[in-house]
Structure 1
Amino acid sequence: MRDADVPAFTAFVEARSAALFRTALLLTGERHLADDLVQSTLERVCRQWRRVRAADSPEAYVRRILVNLAHDRRRKLRGTSEVPLDDGIGGGSVDPYKELDVRDELMRTLHTLPVGMRTVLVLRYFEDLDDAEIGTLMDVSPSSVRSQAARGLAKLRSAAGRQSSGARSGGAA
């Protein structure tokens, strides 16, 4: 990178790194992996800064790099097994932290989904992108995005139903 490009790159990093980290955390499920993913993304962006800066939407260009790197890492780790969910929901007592538990369960369940479904759901519901934008980022058709979203939501709902019925039957015993 030329010295003249450093201020623009620095400004971009300062403005977008928090959003990139949020997306990376949702895609990976672990802070250290998200940090690594953002770092790798920004390193690649730095090397290609002129091309990124000249793009119609530099933010979309960088998000595409992030998603592609996340998918590449997931493919490399495909041989590892998923961590099973702990239902952890107690019986009838009121828990002031239940909302946090529910969010934690959702995040754990989200990370059991195949990477494509998870990416579609993250980009749609956390990044608020439409089907065409997601399709462009993932290099799939908008109808494929809708299909992945529908199947992903169905799996999340099914898992939530199993967990809540498990908690009810566990609480009654």
Structure 2
Amino acid sequence: MADTAEGFSSYVAARHAALTRTAFLLTGDHHAAEDLVQTALARTYLAWRRIHNQAALDSYVRRVMVNEHTLWWRRAWRRRETLTAELPDRPATDPRGDPGGSAEQDGDLWRLLRALPAHHRAAVVLRYFEDLSEAETAEILGCSIGTVKSRTHRALAALRAGLTPATTPEPAPARRDVR
């Protein structure tokens, strides 16, 4: 039992920050990200003795986080929460090293990422933030590689459309014939 607790503790110490960043990108909220990581780590601890491939631990924990996050947004009681128009005061720089500090500074991109459907956001986060392959992302999300490709394509198209200002094409300048 001591070996199990020691191995799990060292894993958590090494990977907690990275898992929290991924959870933050999935949830869009620091507190929900912390809850998601804690839930995923609790489930991982319960399965720790059954996990034989220690190299696949990150994939296992990410899969638990994606599944748990999906359960959260499907639950009816989560829909009863109301958003407020004003955010509470908070410091410009978080002394704890808020994992979303730099993402929030990106303004429009962050707003667009949060507006994506959860399954599109999960695909983008796993593919581009976690730098996983299409096959690894498909395994974590429990879907086919083609589904990962289409979700990623649609999500990126939505992000590009939101970031690209709608401009009308300017007429081409008149050609001058210089001889």
TM-score with structure 2 length normalisation? 0.74
User: Which blocks of at least 5 consecutive residues in structure 1 are unaligned?
Assistant: 85-98, 167-173
Q: Does 1:160 align with 2:145?
A: no
RMSD: 2.5
- Paired with 1:101 and 1:20, the residues of 2 have a C-alpha distance of 18
- Count matched residues: 148
Q: Which runs of 4+ in 1 moved over 6 A?
A: 79-84, 99-102
Identity of aligned residues (%): 39
Cα distance in 2 for residues equivalent to 1:130 and 1:117:
15
Query: Is the Cα contact below 8 Å between 2:127 and 2:133 reproduced in 1?
Result: yes
Q: Mapping of 1:127-138 within 5 angstroms?
A: 127-138=130-141
- How far is the alpha carbon of 1:110 from its aligned partner? 0.7
Structure 2 contact 103–110 (Cα < 8 Å) conserved: no
Task: Tell me if structure 1 keeps the 8 A contact 2:27–2:33.
Answer: yes
Equivalent position amino acid for 2:161 in 1: S
**Could you tell me how far apart the structure 1 residues matched to 2:37 and 2:12 are?**
10
Secondary structure, aligned partner of 1:25: helix
Any idea what SS the aligned residue of 1:129 has?
coil
Whether the aligned pair in 1 keeps the contact of 2:73 and 2:79 (CA below 8 Å) is yes
Higher helix share: 1
Q: Distance in 1 between matches of 2:127 and 2:82?
A: 26
Aligned twin of 1:15: 14
Alignment partners' CA distance in 1, 2:70 and 2:114:
13
Contact 1:82/1:112, CA 8 A, preserved across alignment: no
Aligned to 1:42: 41
Structure 1: how far apart are the matches of 2:83 and 2:125?
Answer: 19
Q: How does 1:76-115 map to 2 (within 5 A)?
A: 76=75, 77=78, 103-115=106-118
Gap runs ≥5 in structure 2: 86-101, 168-179
User: Is 1:118–1:152's contact at 8 Å kept on the other side of the alignment?
Assistant: yes
C-alpha displacement of 1:100:
7.4
Query: Greater Rg, structure 1 or structure 2?
Result: 2
| 3-state SS, counterpart of residue 147 of structure 2 | helix
Q: Within 1, Cα distance between the matches of 2:108 and 2:156?
A: 14
Letter in 1 for 2:73: R
- Over residues 13-53 of structure 1, what are the superposed CA-to-partner deviations in whole Å (9 max), with x where a residue is unaligned? 0111111001000001110010110111111111111123x
- Residue of structure 2 equivalent to 1:96: none
Q: CA deviation at 1:104?
A: 2.4
